[in-house]
Amino acid sequence: MSADALEGGAIAEVDRSSQLADVTGLPEQLRDALWRVESAGIAGVDAPGGLIVAGMGGSAVGGLLARAALGDRASRPIVVARGYELPPWATPDTMVLCCSYSGDTEETLACYEAASALGAPRVVATIGGRLAQAARADGIPVIPFPAGFQPRAAVAYTTVAALEVAAACGAAQSVRAEVDVAADHAERLVEEWGPGGGQDSLAKELARRLHGTVAQVAGAGPTAAVAYRWKTQINENAKLPAFWHELPELDHNEVVGWGSAEELGRFSAVFLSDCDQHPRTRQRIELTRLLVEPHAAAAFTVESRGQTPTERVLSLVLLGDLVSVYLAVLRGVDPTPVEVIERLKADLAEVS
């Protein structure tokens, strides 16, 4: 499609389920998420063993982003369990947040039962399903997510849930005030990067430059989890292969492979930078980009925006989500449906 495809009417023609509206609704979703956690009445439970966020896909990414936003303000381990089992080191002193947007994710249900058998304190975050039924029967607090989202579009809710539960169980200090400020900041970024912004906005320009390429997204420290988010959003929204890696590890392996990239196809590189990264890491990002650039169809360094860690992490989340939807529009594909995932779930159900 032409550059005009990233204007209102043309976007709506492709984005038939209004995924873009969910992305640009991030500011209000953050505020609503704070209210929903408060309404759940989560009691403060001291958990010396830290916090495990059990979830899959879009329901798990909030735990990763919360850990990134907290940084060195986390005083206990905060990890994400993406599978059927809790980590073997989990104890009755470990808080377990079971997060499943649908409430029927089989891996998360298995982790809920594992936490129950362990005697660990639990909190559930979901719209309903079997997970909510089990939690209410067991007297476990339920953070009520709003219905109507694709799980990946509920990132504000999953992130805030993980942040608030981390504070409630003593794994980190509260950043509730930061979330409020981040919502205001996100509103300004939506005006700049959203569909009503200029055609030369960063989000639209990145989408045009990444269009027709296989994106390799790299982060470091607080932006590593965001790089993973970019990769999965490009996968699901734009229906494209995309990959991610983390610096400085990338410089000990992946950087070598770029020398042959042109022989195989059109690859692009995006490096996510933040002022809280180690100074040597920031130097590595620029030096690595310069090494990759001659072999890439496009190569960029993108800097986070904002004053607080929470603002900056969410700024890059918003940017990546917008880029992924704009890429879908440029390809002429509706970003919402994920038919292959639904087919796999149906196949699994038949097998069981």
Judged against a pLDDT cut of 80, whether residue 326 lies above it is answered with yes
Strand intervals (E) in 122-213: 122-126, 142-144
Domain boundaries, position 318: 3-16+197-331
Annotated catalytic residue 252:
yes
User: Is residue 57 domain-resident?
Assistant: yes
Q: Which residue in 252, 263, 339, 350 is the catalytic one? A: 252
Instruction: Categorize the per-residue pLDDT at 129 as very low, low, confident or very high, splitting at 50, 70 and 90.
Output: very high
147 in the same domain as 36:
yes
33 in the same domain as 8:
no
Tell me the pLDDT tens digit for each residue of 274-322: 999 999 999 999 999 999 999 999 999 999 999 999 999 999 999 999 9
Domain ends where: 141, 174, 207?
Answer: 174
**What distance in Å separates the CA atoms of residue 12 and residue 9, rounded to the nearest whole number?**
5
Instruction: Give phi and psi for 261, each to the nearest 5.
Output: -60, -40
Instruction: Categorize the per-residue pLDDT at 216 as very low, low, confident or very high, splitting at 50, 70 and 90.
Output: very high
Which element (helix H / strand E) includes 84? none
b or e along 83-111 (b: 16 or more beta carbons within 10 Å of the residue's beta carbon)? eeebeeebeebbbbbbbbbbbbbebbbbb
Q: Identify which has the larger pLDDT, 351 or 55.
A: 55
Annotated catalytic residue 345:
yes
Judged against a pLDDT cut of 80, whether residue 10 lies above it is answered with yes
Q: Which residue in 107, 236, 254, 311 is the catalytic one? A: 236
Tell me the pLDDT tens digit for each residue of 250-286: 999 999 999 999 999 999 999 999 999 999 999 999 9
207 in the same domain as 114:
no
CB 32: neighbour CB atoms within 10 A?
17
Instruction: Categorize the per-residue pLDDT at 200 as very low, low, confident or very high, splitting at 50, 70 and 90.
Output: very high
Given this model, what pLDDT does residue 5 score? 74
Instruction: Categorize the per-residue pLDDT at 2 as very low, low, confident or very high, splitting at 50, 70 and 90.
Output: low
Instruction: Give phi and psi for 90, each to the nearest 5.
Output: -60, 140
- CB 111 within 8 Å of CB 98: yes
The chain-wide mean pLDDT, for the chain, equals: 96
Judged against a pLDDT cut of 90, whether residue 61 lies above it is answered with yes
Given this model, what pLDDT does residue 222 score? 96
224 in the same domain as 168:
no
107 in the same domain as 10:
no
What is the C-alpha radius of gyration for the chain, rounded to an integer number of angstroms?
20
CATH at residue 303: 3.40.50.10490
291 in the same domain as 250:
yes
